[in-house]
Amino acid sequence: MSQPQQQPLLYQQQPQQPYGYNQPGYVVYGNTSEGAHHSDHHHHSKDVTYSIIFFILGFFISCLWLVNIKYLKSHEHSARGFAIASLVLMNKAIKFLTQKESTFMDELLLGPKYGFTSDQLMELAGLSVSSAVLKVYPKSEYRNVLTICGPGNNGGDGLIASRQLVGFGYNVSIYYPKRSSNDIFKRLLLQSELSGVHILSELPENIEDKYNIVIDAIFGYSFNASTGEIRAPFDSVINRLNHINQEKTPIVSVDIPSGWDVDVGNVKNTFVPKLLVSLASPKKCAQSFKGTHYLGGRFLPDAFASQWELNLPPYPGSEQCVDITNCQK
């Protein structure tokens, strides 16, 4: 008797082949054109699917970069566009701090974990303020500067910013009516004098005629305008600032516009500066501020900023300040 005819061997196990060779791990024998066609069609479909996915991802990433470039080109200052575009890409808003948060944050920075000193923080803050002034009010048009300093750290920031501005080529005068007895402030005042800053004994009557800019470094976040009164001599000083024509002589406030409540805002209806330079992170009162708004204080460690979820914009290049005027609040 004849033996039954053996059927063609369709599949035989072979070593793994590269992706795209029909069914991975197998080689086809015999009359399998239909199966081969089906397998080729299957993997061709997968290739097309992957291509579509990669195309969509690439298109999406390109759109994000176009948004970035659009913001960079549509703002007067590149730093502002850089900050806004970065926040748009991150889809996060900058955190605005309360008075309690600001106090606690400073205590942490000055503690053993982060190791900063008070004069270090003031030096960095003062440099940020002077850098923002240089960007917004160039010395070619705003050469003469009057800085009004309070008795605390905000006044120290003003002393340092004044010294830095002299180094940038400005003519700077300081009115410092209530001087601190702390050794740090005595040294800062001495450094300002030696750098060429003019120290005034009284506030000039004709501020707008003598000065192109006024820097308000009177009160910082420790002043509670909702419960506290503005006492002499700063009550009369702030009253003078209330009546300055800022179209002629703009006011630049350091961290907080003096007389404002840190958490609520302008509760005493005092002056509104043309430029606000927030330090480290903006404060709650700045959410109602409509003028030009810069952020300074590039010294915060990344771990610190992440822990506090500050969502700060990156500083472009080697800049010490960044324009956050139109950033999300």
Residue numbers in the known binding site are 153-157, 216, 255, 258
Q: Where are the alpha helices (DSSP H) in the chain?
A: 33-73, 78-90, 99-110, 118-136, 153-167, 183-195, 207-210, 234-242, 302-307
Query: Which of 46, 74, 102 is at the close of a domain?
Result: 74
% of the chain exceeding 90 in pLDDT: 65
In a domain, 122, yes or no: yes
Q: Are 162 and 174 in contact (CB under 8 A)?
A: yes
- What are 104's two structure tokens? 């606690």
Asked whether residue 151 falls in the same domain as residue 266, the answer is yes
Instruction: Tell me the pLDDT of the chain averaged across its residues.
Output: 81
pTM of the model: 0.74
Q: Are 180 and 155 in contact (CB under 8 A)?
A: yes
Q: Tell me what percent of the chain is helix, strand and coil, each rounded to the nearest 5.
A: 40, 15, 45
Residue 55 confidence (pLDDT): 59
In total, how many domains does the chain have?
A: 2
Residue numbers in the known binding site for (6S)-NADPHX are 153-157, 255
Residue numbers in the known binding site for K(+) are 154, 216, 258
In a domain, 191, yes or no: yes
In a domain, 79, yes or no: no
Which domain range does residue 146 map to?
Answer: 93-323
Q: Is the pLDDT of residue 17 over 70?
A: no
